[in-house]
Copies of this chain bind each other. A is one copy, B any other.
Amino acid sequence: MKLLEDRIRQDGKIFPGDVLKVDSFLNHRIDVALLSQIGKEFYKRYQNEGVSLILTVEASGIGVACLAAEAFGCPVLFAKKSKTSNIGDNFWSATAHSYTHGNDNTLIVSKDYLGKGERILILDDFLANGCAATALTEICAQAGTTVVGIGAVIEKTYQKGGDALRQKGFRVESLARIASMSPEAGIKFC
């Protein structure tokens, strides 16, 4: 998606440790007009999959998911990273390691809102090691739902997550696919 690649080139900042900071438009400050375009692009790619629910993870996936859900005309469900006091014990869960934060998160989804018959599109801001997306597919399997696709705004294709999910048979679509990046050489897209 050229609009997105241009924006990443313009505003993305690369830091040592393989960090691409895009928090000026994607996951701290949110450029809602851009996310609306991104949502329409996901719809274009998955519109024939009968998506009934978009599943994401708090917090940075929520904006992406909500704007895409407008295009799909479906609701969003976001997995929580901690058990809140009022979710009870009625939940599906799976563990995801966060390389950004250096910890494990137990992702939790209430059983009330994820059940058989749903056709799930998993969306998130980043796909790198694929830990969060994999945990969400595990939750979907527990709930007996069908994952019709996995979409990421930005994929670091040189990490293993996206291809591991593709090898499992999931249809993975990323709107900006980074082949390599470094503070010295900048970003190369696929």
Contact = CB atoms under 8 A, between A and B. Distances in A.
Given A58-B58, A62-B59, A69 B21 contact: no
A66 B28 contact: no
A16 B181 CA distance: 52
A92 to B, nearest CB: 12
Nearest to A19: B86
A49 interface: no
Contact of A85 (B69, B87, B101, B110): B101
A77 B29 contact: yes
A32 interface: yes
A112 B76 CA distance: 30
Contacts of A62: 30, 58-59, 62-63, 66
Task: Tell me the number of copies of this protein.
Answer: 2
A76 B63 contact: yes
Contacts of A24: 112-113
Given A28-B78, A113-B28, A84 B101 contact: yes
A154 B69 CA distance: 23
21 contacts: A15-B86, A19-B86, A23-B113, A28-B80, A28-B87, A28-B109, A28-B113, A30-B65, A30-B76, A30-B78, A31-B75, A32-B66, A32-B70, A32-B75, A32-B76, A59-B62, A59-B78, A62-B63, A84-B101, A85-B101, A85-B102
